[in-house]
Each structure stands twice: as structure tokens, then as C-alpha cells.
Amino acid sequence: MVLLAVVSACSPKRKEDGKPAASAAGQAVLLSVGAVSVNQADLEYHLKESNSGPNRQPHRDEALDALGSRARLVQAAIDAGLLEDPSVRAEFSRVLASRLKERDLSPRLRAIADAEIPEVRLREIYTEKLSTYKSNEKRQAAVLWLNPGKDPERANQYLKKLKEAREWFLQNKDLQLHPEQGFSVLAVDYTEHQPSRFKNGEVGWLERDSNQDAWNKAVAEILFALPAAGAVSEVLERPEGLFLVRYMATKPASSRSFESVKDELARAEKQRLREAAEAEFEASLVARYPVNRITP
């Protein structure tokens, strides 16, 4: 239906003498084949697209011949009913939609791409998102862990075992001077935590407060109570089991500076503005052209 309306609008108007009048676009009609007309704007566009040179003879005549041939094909297609062909309607719709965006939306998007975001605006965004550019202090931990469950006798045995491990550690001066070794060989025989058992008891980097499971939270609580890297805790009992924790190393809290994220902020703000422009464009179409679904 849209296609038929467009073809109708493009049809040449006739004066009383039977000659073509100006087209709907206000351009003089240069030739017509049935309902299909070619005007001055069509000719100029064809010459531009085909790089045929300036709008003068013989280029003009060659271009009009080509446009006439195409007009015959178009009129033949119309007479054959191809305006109702789904593939033709789909292609026509894509061309119109693309052209509308190119005319009404693309200039706004190019303006956004070419514009420079004011630094005062970037600093506002940086302040709003400052928490995302901060990194909390992290500590590396080594753990010896035994889980007696609810068995009191086993709990006493495990408590004694971990205290023995701690005494051995405190007597090993070389191990005390090298926090990077974690609990060294002790881990093989004094922990039930399988992921760290053959890694010197190392369980990685933990924050004081983070979204961790109960086991890691227990380790973090003990870890951040220790005074300095290299220190080892007492054997402590928690609902998750018995823990002996060593503080291995520190990554201090840090914050990325405004200058280091300035370009990143500008890219993100331009993307936000592009998405806002696209959403506004779509919203204006929705408001002006509601879709009416017709139930068969």
C-alpha cells in the first residue's frame, strides 16, 4: 500500500494540453513511461552517482537514455504486479527506513561524534562513578584448615594438630622470613582444603569486605586482623572449622586518577548520547505513527 501511494505521488501531472507538468518535488518532468516519471533531480543524481561528468550534452542525453530504459523496466514491473511481491516490499521498506535515518538521525549522530565533551562534564561523571575507579586493599593469604564437624573429640585432636603446626612454623626462622612461601610443606599434612593443599596453603587475594562465601569471609576476618605481612594467626575456631592463617602480601587500596580515565569517560558519554539520540528518534516515530495490528 505504501508503495502504491509512492508511485501515485511520483506520477506526472498533466496540463490541459497533455504535456507533463512539474512533479510533486517541484522539478520539471523530463520524461515519463506510464506512471513512472523522471525529473531534473533524478537526472542530477544519476549523473553524480555514475560519475558521468557535468550536466550537459552528450552526458545528459546518455543519462536520460539510461533513465528511460530503467523507467520502462519499472513500469513493466508495476504492470506485472511486482509491487505486491514481498521481497520488493521488504527492500523498498528498507531503503525508505535507511534514507529517513540518514536524513534525520545520522546528522545528530555525526554531531555527537565530532563534538568534544566538556571537561567539566567529564569530571562530574568521574565524581559520580568514583567508587568504580577505586580498588580496596587486598591481602594474600595462606591457610591451614581442618574441619571436625560437630565431633568434640575430633575437634580437640584437630586443635592440637594445628597448634603443633603453628609451633613448628614459629621455630622455622627461614620460613618466617619468607612470607611468599605461605605455609610451605605444612600444607600437605595440615589442611583439608584441597585447592590449596599442594600450593603451600595459598588461597589467593582477599578483601576485607566483599561478596564471598562463608569460608572465605572467615579467612578474611582473621587475615585483616593480622598486623603485618608475614604474621601468622593463632589457631582459631569458626563455624566453618579450625583455621591457621598467614598474611603473605598486600596490594594497597588505590584509585585511578581522572586523567587516566578521561578518554574512557569521553567514549562512554558519547555512546550514552548516541543511544539517547536513537531512543528519542524512535520515540518520536512511535508517538506519530502508532502500529495498528489487524486481526484476521
The pLDDT of 126-151, averaged and rounded, is 94
Domain range for 283: 112-132+256-288
Q: Do 89 and 116 share a domain, yes or no? A: no
209 or 26: which carries more pLDDT confidence?
Answer: 209
**CATH number of the domain bearing residue 176:** 3.10.50.40
76 or 9: which carries more pLDDT confidence?
Answer: 76
Q: Do 80 and 213 share a domain, yes or no? A: no
Q: Do 268 and 243 share a domain, yes or no? A: no
Res. 265: pLDDT tops 80: yes
Contact 155, 242 (CB under 8 A): yes
Residue 195 within a domain = yes
- Show which of 86, 104, 122 is a domain's final residue: 104
- Tell me the whole-structure pTM to 2 decimals: 0.61
Residue 55 within a domain = yes
Q: Do 143 and 248 share a domain, yes or no? A: yes
Q: Do 144 and 91 share a domain, yes or no? A: no
Residue 7 confidence (pLDDT): 43
185 or 7: which carries more pLDDT confidence?
Answer: 185
* CA atoms of 100 and 237, how far apart (whole Å): 70
User: How many structural domains are present in the chain?
Assistant: 3
Residue 219 within a domain = yes
Q: Do 32 and 93 share a domain, yes or no? A: yes
Residues paired with 38 in a beta bridge:
31
Residue 294 within a domain = no
Q: Do 230 and 96 share a domain, yes or no? A: no
Q: Do 6 and 73 share a domain, yes or no? A: yes
Q: Which amino acid is at 86?
A: P
Q: Do 90 and 118 share a domain, yes or no? A: no
Find the radius of gyration of the CA atoms of the chain: 39
Residue 295 within a domain = no
Residue 41 confidence (pLDDT): 92
User: To which H or E segment does residue 173 belong?
Assistant: helix 173-176
Q: Do 128 and 147 share a domain, yes or no? A: no
The pLDDT of 42-62, averaged and rounded, is 79
Residue 236 within a domain = yes
* CA atoms of 28 and 26, how far apart (whole Å): 7
- Reported as a pLDDT band with limits 50, 70 and 90, residue 170 is very high
The pLDDT of 169-187, averaged and rounded, is 94
Q: Do 43 and 90 share a domain, yes or no? A: yes
* CA atoms of 43 and 61, how far apart (whole Å): 10
pLDDT digits (tens, 9 = 90+) for 227-241: 999 999 999 999 999
Residue 26 confidence (pLDDT): 52
- Show which of 55, 85, 104 is a domain's final residue: 104
Residue 200 within a domain = yes
Residue 45 within a domain = yes
Residue 116 confidence (pLDDT): 96
* CA atoms of 278 and 255, how far apart (whole Å): 34
Q: What percentage of residues in the chain have a pLDDT greater than 70?
A: 89
Res. 119: pLDDT tops 50: yes
Residue 295 confidence (pLDDT): 87
Q: Do 160 and 223 share a domain, yes or no? A: yes
Indicate the range of 19-33, 60-74, 207-221, 267-281 predicted with least confidence.
Answer: 19-33
- Reported as a pLDDT band with limits 50, 70 and 90, residue 53 is low
* CA atoms of 156 and 159, how far apart (whole Å): 5
pLDDT digits (tens, 9 = 90+) for 3-22: 433 443 344 344 444 455 55
